[in-house]
C-alpha cells in the first residue's frame, strides 16, 4: 500500500498543469519585495495585481490604470515566458531604480523602468514606465 501512494502523488503531479513562468532572474540576494511582486504579476499576466502593487499609493487615476492593464492584456494576454533584472541602482537605503526585461516567444521585449522607495515603512513605486527599447530606460539612470 505504501508503494501506491508515491505513485499516485507522482501521477497527480504530472496531470496538473505546469506553471508557465519562472521567477524573474535577479542576482540581488535581497530584492525589494515590491519588485518581486510586480515582476511576478507581469510574468503571470495578472496585470490588475501589477497595477495595484505598482500604484500602492493610489496616485494614478483609475482610467489611466485601466488603460495600462488593457494595453498589457492586449499585447501579452498570458503574461511572459521570461524576465530578468538588467540593472538595479540603490540611490539610498530607501530609494532604488531598476530596469527589468520581459519576453514572450515571438514578440518584442518589454522593458520596465521602476523608481521605488520605502515611504513610512511601505514599499511603493514612485514612477514606472514600459518601453520596447532599453536605451530609453537606461537613459533614466544617468
With 50 as the cut, is the pLDDT of residue 7 above it?
no
Average pLDDT over residues 116-127: 89
Average pLDDT over residues 25-37: 90
Using 50, 70 and 90 to split pLDDT, how confident is the model at 142? Answer: low
pTM of the model: 0.78
C-alpha cell at 15: 496531470
Average pLDDT score, the chain: 82
Q: Where along the chain do its domains lie?
A: 20-139
pLDDT, tens digit, 9 for 90 and up, residues 34-47: 999 999 999 999 99
In sequence order, what DSSP letters do the residues of 61-116 get, joined into one string?
-HHHHHHHHHHHHHH-TT--SEEEEEEEEESSSSEEEEEEEEE-TTS--EEEEEEE
What is the pLDDT, as a whole number, of residue 57? 79
Architecture in CATH of 20-139: Roll (3.10)
Between CA 77 and CA 75 the distance in angstroms is 6
Amino acid at each position: 500500500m505504501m508503494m501506491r501512494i508515491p505513485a499516485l502523488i507522482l501521477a497527480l503531479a504530472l496531470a496538473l498543469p505546469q506553471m508557465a513562468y519562472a521567477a524573474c532572474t535577479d542576482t540581488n540576494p535581497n530584492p525589494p519585495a515590491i519588485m518581486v511582486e510586480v515582476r511576478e504579476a507581469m510574468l503571470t499576466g495578472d496585470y490588475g495585481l501589477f497595477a495595484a502593487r505598482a500604484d500602492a499609493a493610489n496616485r494614478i487615476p483609475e482610467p489611466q490604470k485601466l488603460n495600462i492593464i488593457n494595453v498589457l492584456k492586449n499585447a501579452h494576454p498570458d503574461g511572459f515566458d521570461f524576465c530578468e533584472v538588467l540593472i538595479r541602482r540603490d540611490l539610498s537605503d530607501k530609494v532604488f531604480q531598476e530596469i527589468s526585461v520581459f519576453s514572450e516567444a515571438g514578440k518584442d521585449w518589454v522593458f520596465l523602468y521602476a523608481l521605488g522607495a520605502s515611504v513610512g515603512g511601505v514599499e511603493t513605486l514612485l514612477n514606472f514606465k514600459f518601453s520596447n527599447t532599453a536605451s530609453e530606460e537606461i537613459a533614466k539612470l544617468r
